[in-house]
């Protein structure tokens, strides 16, 4: 929890907490005024003075309430949003390659944690501090009446809170940050396209659209707690009554107690939730931090003359398969094809070069020097998906490209009929497309991203010959000065490569140049 206080938005959050505490304090001042001015009988002077104090307190309370409400929602969202971005960034820097199930679990953990951490921080001002202030003010007066009953009533309150704490479930939260969920679920796409900064920008633009639904358990436990509070209030009221009867205190203490308890009973009700959330975030923060303890401390390589893999092995322990890469070389400006049957390990070479898979043996050389860095590459594979954004955003990915140019690419790749069927053109939110349309859009994305190096893994899978010809034409037109590797069993694609490797028996071998 202490680490969360280093959040850049914490100053504004602390101001919100202080203002909320002051609002509660003003309410307690109403009770103090009643206890001071309301005697057994009321004179005109007492009523006038009492009303003056109440009006002044009410005025200040409204001022503080205005200041609090003006920025509270933004401060809440900004703090929560910064936590989400922090862990979103940790995924990007992690050396873990997540499968789809893991990504869904990670997304749920981050959203759940961000809500609870934010709720717990703001509960300091909405529950903890007001509760402490109220109890101090209340028991300062009650101890003057009867010390023993006051101590017993404190013990009873603690008992009520403990019983409630043990019986409640952790708050059931549905945190609908759809865009963050979508980005995390498609994080392998984000990694392969190297569009992390673009996604951060989109999350910033979307932060006001988060939706939180909080469901507290409404079971018989609520009734038991309420009955317990009624018993507590009856005991204190009887104590005050007998002291008024014996002329020990004044009638105003009745009003004092009732006004304070109107707030305290709700705060006592919420306290167990705050405690449970606090313990939850401490436990789960450790789990999240440990999950991303190992980071990719590397830079992306964009300028090079040659990249080599030497004497490498990648051990897929789950399937008892070891991929051997005795030697692989990629020169700047070269187009390389990797051929072989499915399941032999063709994609392993690309995953090693792009940093998605560590080598169990061997080394990576850039310009004949060993490095731990990886290539800055656009990696198009079967699992590169669309994001829950407009077609325009899905294609431009933060790059400056005109609508006219996008439409030109769409027509060139053969998607014009599909585009004309969209209801809102480039503004259409794309959620579900066929594999062929997806792979065609990915080709356009690759052109727009304009990197030096590209990896193409089965980019025409499922296309007919006409579709393949369009892809090949675009590769020749837009990638002729680029460095790229193609994995495909289609001759039409392999024929545009000037060097080939073949993988057999999980071992990579170089073929003779075909050109």
Last residue in a domain, options 260, 291, 322: 291
User: CB neighbours (10 Å) of residue 326?
Assistant: 14
**Token pair recorded at residue 290:** 């440990």
Domain that holds residue 61: 3-291
Give the pLDDT band of residue 421 (cuts 50, 70, 90): very high
CATH number at residue 251: 1.20.1560.10
Between 242 and 390, the more confident residue is 390
What pLDDT is stored for residue 31 in this prediction? 84
Please indicate, yes or no, whether residues 219 and 326 belong to a single structural domain of this protein: no
- The pTM assigned to this predicted structure is 0.75
Last residue in a domain, options 249, 267, 291: 291
Please indicate, yes or no, whether residues 353 and 269 belong to a single structural domain of this protein: no
**Token pair recorded at residue 266:** 């709700």
**Residue 268 resides in a domain:** yes
What pLDDT is stored for residue 361 in this prediction? 93
Please indicate, yes or no, whether residues 373 and 287 belong to a single structural domain of this protein: no
What pLDDT is stored for residue 209 in this prediction? 62
DSSP 248: S
**Token pair recorded at residue 144:** 């003057």
Q: Are 465 and 300 in contact (CB under 8 A)?
A: no
Please indicate, yes or no, whether residues 372 and 422 belong to a single structural domain of this protein: yes
Residue written as token pair 């369009």:
470
CA–CA separation, 271 and 216 (whole Å): 13
**Residue 95 resides in a domain:** yes
DSSP three-state, residue 455: strand
Residue 408 has pLDDT above 90, yes or no: yes
CATH number at residue 495: 3.40.50.300
In the sheet that 335-340 helps form, which strands lie side by side, from edge to edge? Answer: 369-370, 361-366, 306-316, 321-331, 507-510, 499-504, 335-340, 483-487, 453-457, 377-380
Mean of pLDDT values over 75-87 = 85
Please indicate, yes or no, whether residues 324 and 238 belong to a single structural domain of this protein: no
**Torsions phi, psi of 374, nearest 5?**
-130, 170
Residue 40 has pLDDT above 70, yes or no: no
Please indicate, yes or no, whether residues 431 and 387 belong to a single structural domain of this protein: yes
Please indicate, yes or no, whether residues 260 and 396 belong to a single structural domain of this protein: no
**Residue 343 resides in a domain:** yes
Give the pLDDT band of residue 514 (cuts 50, 70, 90): very low
Last residue in a domain, options 291, 315, 339: 291
Per residue in 313-352, pLDDT (tens digit) is 998 877 788 999 999 999 999 999 999 888 888 999 998 9
Please indicate, yes or no, whether residues 266 and 381 belong to a single structural domain of this protein: no
Q: How far lies 100's CA from each of 89, 186, 383, in Å?
A: 18, 8, 10
Q: How many domains does the chain have?
A: 2
What pLDDT is stored for residue 249 in this prediction? 57
Q: Are 426 and 390 in contact (CB under 8 A)?
A: yes
Q: Are 332 and 367 in contact (CB under 8 A)?
A: no
**Residue 515 resides in a domain:** no
Give the pLDDT band of residue 246 (cuts 50, 70, 90): low
What pLDDT is stored for residue 104 in this prediction? 73
Residue 489 has pLDDT above 80, yes or no: yes
The rounded mean pLDDT for the chain is 84
What pLDDT is stored for residue 7 in this prediction? 61
Q: Are 283 and 168 in contact (CB under 8 A)?
A: no
What pLDDT is stored for residue 97 in this prediction? 63
Per residue in 162-221, pLDDT (tens digit) is 988 888 765 545 455 678 888 888 888 888 898 988 988 888 887 766 655 444 444 445
196-206 and 178-185 are packed helices; what angle lies between their axes, rounded to 10 degrees?
A: 160
Please indicate, yes or no, whether residues 347 and 281 belong to a single structural domain of this protein: no
What pLDDT is stored for residue 245 in this prediction? 67
Q: Are 382 and 342 in contact (CB under 8 A)?
A: no
**Token pair recorded at residue 223:** 């009734």
Per residue in 426-476, pLDDT (tens digit) is 999 887 899 999 999 999 999 999 999 999 999 999 999 999 999 999 999
Mean of pLDDT values over 268-272 = 90
What pLDDT is stored for residue 452 in this prediction? 93
Mean of pLDDT values over 63-85 = 87
Please indicate, yes or no, whether residues 271 and 319 belong to a single structural domain of this protein: no
- Tally of CA atoms within 13 A in the half-sphere of 280 that contains its CB: 22
What pLDDT is stored for residue 213 in this prediction? 46
**Torsions phi, psi of 99, nearest 5?**
-90, 175
What pLDDT is stored for residue 181 in this prediction? 81
What pLDDT is stored for residue 170 in this prediction? 58
């Amino acid at each position: 929890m202490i680490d969360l206080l280093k959040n850049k938005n914490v100053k504004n959050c602390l101001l919100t907490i202080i203002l909320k505490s002051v609002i509660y304090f003003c309410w307690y001042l109403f009770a103090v005024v009643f206890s001071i001015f309301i005697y057994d009988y009321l004179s005109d002077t007492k009523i006038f003075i009492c009303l003056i104090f109440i009006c002044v307190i009410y005025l200040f309370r409204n001022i503080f309430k205005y200041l609090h409400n003006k920025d509270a929602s933004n401060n809440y969202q900004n703090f929560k949003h910064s936590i989400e971005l922090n862990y979103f960034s940790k995924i990007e820097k992690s050396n873990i390659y997540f499968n789809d199930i893991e990504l869904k679990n990670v997304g749920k953990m981050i959203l759940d944690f961000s809500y609870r951490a934010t709720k717990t921080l703001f509960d300091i001002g909405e529950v903890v501090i007001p509760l402490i202030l109220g109890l101090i003010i209340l028991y300062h007066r009650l101890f003057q009446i009867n010390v023993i009953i006051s101590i017993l009533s404190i013990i009873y309150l603690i008992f009520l809170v403990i019983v409630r704490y043990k019986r409640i479930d952790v708050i059931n939260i549905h945190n609908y940050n759809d865009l963050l969920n979508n980005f995390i679920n498609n994080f392998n796409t984000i990694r392969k396209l190297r569009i992390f900064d673009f996604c951060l920008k989109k999350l910033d633009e979307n932060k006001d659209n988060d939706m939180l639904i909080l469901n507290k358990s409404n079971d018989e436990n609520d009734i038991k707690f309420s009955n317990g509070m009624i018993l507590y209030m009856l005991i204190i009221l009887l104590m005050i009554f007998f002291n008024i009867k014996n002329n020990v205190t004044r009638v105003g203490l009745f009003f004092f107690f009732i006004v304070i308890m109107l707030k305290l009973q709700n705060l006592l009700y919420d306290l167990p939730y705050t405690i449970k959330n606090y313990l939850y975030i401490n436990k789960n923060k450790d789990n999240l931090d440990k999950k991303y303890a190992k980071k990719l401390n590397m830079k992306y390589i964009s300028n090079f003359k040659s990249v080599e893999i030497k004497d490498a092995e990648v051990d897929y322990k789950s399937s008892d398969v070891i991929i051997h890469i005795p030697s692989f070389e990629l020169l700047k400006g070269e187009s390389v094809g990797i051929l072989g049957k499915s399941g032999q390990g063709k994609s392993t070479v690309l995953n090693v070069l792009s940093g998605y898979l560590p080598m169990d043996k061997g080394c990576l050389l850039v310009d004949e020097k060993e490095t731990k860095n990886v290539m800055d590459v656009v990696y198009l594979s079967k699992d590169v998906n669309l994001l829950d954004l407009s077609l325009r955003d899905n294609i431009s990915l933060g790059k400056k490209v005109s609508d006219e140019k996008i439409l030109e690419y769409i027509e060139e790749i053969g998607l014009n009929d599909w585009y004309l069927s969209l209801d809102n053109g480039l503004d259409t939110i794309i959620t579900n497309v066929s594999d062929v349309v997806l792979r065609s859009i990915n080709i356009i994305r690759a052109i727009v991203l304009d990197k030096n190096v590209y990896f193409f893994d089965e980019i025409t899978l499922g296309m007919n010959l006409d579709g393949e010809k369009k892809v090949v034409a675009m590769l020749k037109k837009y990638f002729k000065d680029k460095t790229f590797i193609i994995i495909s069993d289609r001759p039409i694609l392999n024929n545009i490569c000037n060097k080939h490797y073949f993988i057999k028996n999980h071992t990579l071998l170089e073929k003779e140049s075909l050109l």
